[in-house]
Amino acid sequence: MKTPKLVHARSALGLFAGMALLYAGCGSFQGQDSTAVSALTITVKGDFAGGTIVSQPAGIDCGTTCSTIFNTGTMVTLTASLTDSTDFVGWDGDCTGNSPTCSLAVDKVKNVGATFRSKINRANLEVSLGGGGGGLVSSVPFGIQCGNSCTGGFDKGTMVTLTATPDSTSIFTGWTGACTSSARTCVVTLSADMQVTANFANPASCEQIRADAPTSGDGNRKLFVGGNKTKPWDAFCLMSVIPAVTYLPLANVAAAQNYSQFSAGGSATGTTVKTNYTKLQIDPATFAVNTNDKRYATTTGGPLTTGGTSVTAMPYATAMGCQNGTANGAANIDLTGTQFAVATGALALGGTAPTGTTTPAPNDQLRVFALTGGGNCGFNAPKGATAPYNNGGVVLNLVYFP
């Protein structure tokens, strides 16, 4: 590649030997009119072909004139003009940065380096983000750093490692284009211009989060109904099991909230059994609550015996009693603070000669209910139950209700 002719001076005095200059100290000289002047020298580096570096005020027009003098103290702006086949890498010496322009005060002898790089042996890697989620893509070597779309240029043959990092409410679902991996990192070798898309999504379940980040710990997460960004809800993810389990955290967990009770009396002999819940296992696709999951539940009372069976715990949303004609069983459903409500028709009376009531809270009729249930071993419980004690509960259907 042809390199422009540069003037390399051993000293400013030697450089301008044909001029009548007197050294004035501190890198400055005096002209014939005793005006102090200082030299500015440009050194071009790298693959520079056909462009120019010019100064304002005029004086530098490199590659023809790469050194000149200015009155000491003059503010000089250098501008690198490029050809279509050249990239500007950056300045060094008395200028820094990678902007095509640089301003400096020529208050003494100044030396500036300008580095260029040919595009002829370069390839562009274009990265874009796809899907409903969000995140960041970065590269090694450096050149890609974007949360939307960007393009980086690299020498042909370079192995570029791309890393996708989802934001706090997203997951990474894989690469398309020149990368096809589902891992968060991928490697491409640039033989020509290439395009890669990093795809992010809004997680619909805890298992999706665990699959993307297997080392994630248990904790609260933001999930989205069907992956729809406009339908978020707050979940607790149990990541320490495979597959991960999704729970609905309950805000109100006092003794008289979110409990189920089988009351002693009649043919139910012994001591009342009461189970309080702080989290409900929920299917994030259907919003069906597994009322038998007691991982985050506490049972008090007992032993209680009915029909020869020992009752040790109660499924969620169940009020039961065996005192003939009396609804002495009790329960409470309180979904305050969640994005869910009880589905219409989700609760029903059952058992032998059942009796009971379902009373919504006056100001929160879809989220908070007080239940009573009983009879000759009757109950008020999720529809479809037949023997709702111990692990005999059935699913409680909820609806998304932000």
pLDDT profile of the chain (402 residues), mean per 10 = 34 40 49 79 80 92 92 96 85 93 96 88 93 96 90 91 96 96 95 96 98 95 97 98 97 98 97 98 98 98 96 98 96 97 97 97 87 97 98 98 94
- What is the pTM (predicted TM-score) of this model? 0.73
Q: Tell me which long-range contacts 216-223 makes (C-beta under 8 A, separation of at least 24).
A: 220/249, 222/168, 222/169, 223/284
In a domain, 332, yes or no: yes
Determine the 3-state secondary structure of 305 from DSSP: strand
The Cα 338–Cα 324 span in angstroms is: 37
Are 16 and 147 in a shared domain? Answer: no
Q: Domain for residue 266, yes or no?
A: yes
Q: CA–CA separation, 135 vs 149, rounded Å?
A: 11
Same domain, 97 and 181: no
Please tell me the predicted confidence (pLDDT) of residue 116.
86
Contact 246, 265 (CB under 8 A): no
pLDDT at 12: 37
| pLDDT score for 50 | 64
As given in the structure block, the two tokens for residue 63 are 């590659």
Tell me which of 93, 118, 143 is where a domain ends.
118
**pLDDT, position 194:** 96
Residue 6 counted as domain residue: no
Rg value, the chain, Cα: 38
Assigned domain for 231 exists: yes
pLDDT at 117: 83
Residues 232, 327, single domain; the answer is no
Same domain, 66 and 170: no
What is the model's pLDDT at position 49?
Answer: 63
**Strand order of the sheet with strand 52-56?**
61-62, 52-56, 74-81, 101-106
Domain that holds residue 63: 12-118
Spatial contact of 260 and 280, defined as CB atoms under 8 Å apart: no
